Structure 1
Amino acid sequence: MYTLHIANKNYSSWSLRPWVLMKALNIPFQEIMHPFGEGSNWGEFRKFSPTGLVPCLVDGDRCVWDSLGIMEYLAERHAGVWPESDDARAWARCAAAEMHSGFSVLRDVCPMNCGVMVAMTTRPAGLDNNLERLEELWSQGLSRFSGPFLGGKQFTAVDAFYVPVAFRARTFQLQLSQQSQAYVNELLSLDAVKTWEKSALNETWRESGHEADTVRFGKILEDNRIK
C-alpha cells in the first residue's frame, strides 16, 4: 500500500492535491500527517522527503515527491487519473501544470485556510489578472469538455489541482462568474473534499506564519475551526 506524507490539512494545499485524487479514485493509501512547526520544517521533513517538502508518496522502496510527480506516477498505475480522451488529457495536463507553476499572486494573497472566512480590505496589484486567467481557463475546460469537471464528466487530476483554489475562493469570498462559482461548488461538494475539510476544521494546532498570511490583506469574519 502507498504511504502519503502530508502536512496540516487546514493549510497544506500541495498535500491536498494527491490526497483528494487518491480518495476520489479509491486508490488505497496510508496517510502520515506531519504538522507544520514554527519556522523551517526542513530538517524534520527531510526525514521522509528529499526536498524537505510535502507531499511525498512512498511505494515500497520508492519515494515519489512533488504533487505533479505523484500524479504522473499514479497515472502509470491507475485508470482515471487523467481524462480518457487524448484531447482532454493533453489540455488537462497543461492546465494542471499552469496551476502548479503559476498564479503566484493568488497563492500569495489568498493562502489556503479552510476553516475561516476573510473580508479583503486590500486588493494587491496582479490579483485581478490571476483571477481573469483562472476564469478563462476554467471556462475553456468546462465548455470544451462539457463539464461538470474540467476534463469532462469525471473528477481527474486537473480538478485535484484546483480544489485548493476552490477553498481559497470561498475563504476570501472571491467574486467569480456564475459558471466558475458553480465549478467551485461542485468541487467543495465532493465527498473526498468534505472529508478533508472535516479533518481540517478539527485540527487544534495553529501555525503563526500561516495565520499571519491569512489576514495580511483582510480580516477574519468567521472562524469555524475547533477551538
Structure 2
Amino acid sequence: MTTSQPSLRERHRARTLAEIHRAALDLAGESSYSDTTVDAVAERAGVSRRTFFNYYASKEDAVLGLTPPHITEAAHARYMDRSTGDEFARTVRLFMDVLRDATGPPEFMAHRQELVEQHPELKRRIGLHVTTAESLVVSTVTEQSALGASPRSEETSHAFVLLAGSVIKFAFRTDSHLAAASQDDAAVQHALDHAIGVFRTAFKEIS
C-alpha cells in the first residue's frame, strides 16, 4: 500500500504546531507551568493569539502537544486492509495511529514527561485525550463489526478496544526507546507485534 506525501499546507501546519508546542515547553521550563500563559506562548512562537487557538485548544494542549484525535484516511485504509493483520492487530494499530497523529513530536517526549510528573492536571488532560481517541476507535470498530456475519455489541467492541489500548501501553512500558522512535513506522510495528504476541500467549494461559 503506497502513502501520499504531505502537502505544503500539511507541512506548514505540522511546523507551526511544533513551534507553538516548543515555545510552550520552553516557557514552562524557564519559569513555571502555572505562570506560562497563552499570550506568552504565542509571542514566543511568533504567532497571534488567534493563530494559537487555531492550532491548540488550551495552554495544556500546547504544552503536551495534543491536537483533537481523528482518524486519517491513511489510518483508516490501513485498518481496512486485511493483509496487514487480523482484526485485533489492525485495531491495535488503528488506536496507535490515532494517538500518534494527535501527539506532539517525539523529540520533546522527555520534556513533556517531566512536566506531566510535576503537574497532575496534565495527567488528567492526557487521560481525557486518550478517552476521546478510544471513543473514535470504538465507533470505527463497532461500525465495521456491524457489517460482518457476526456483529458484536458496542459494549464488546469497547472491551476489544480497551484491550488494544493495553497492548499499546505495554509496548511503551517494555521498550524504553519506543517513545523516541514513535515516528519510525517499522520500529512501532515491531514493538506492537511483539506486545500482541505476549498478550496472545497470556490469554492462552488463562483460557
Shorter-chain TM-score tier = under 0.3
Of structures 1 and 2, the one scoring higher in RCO (CA 8 A, sep 6+) is 1
Q: Larger Rg: 1 or 2?
A: 2
Q: What is the TM-score with the length of structure 1 in the denominator?
A: 0.26
**Larger strand fraction of residues:** 1
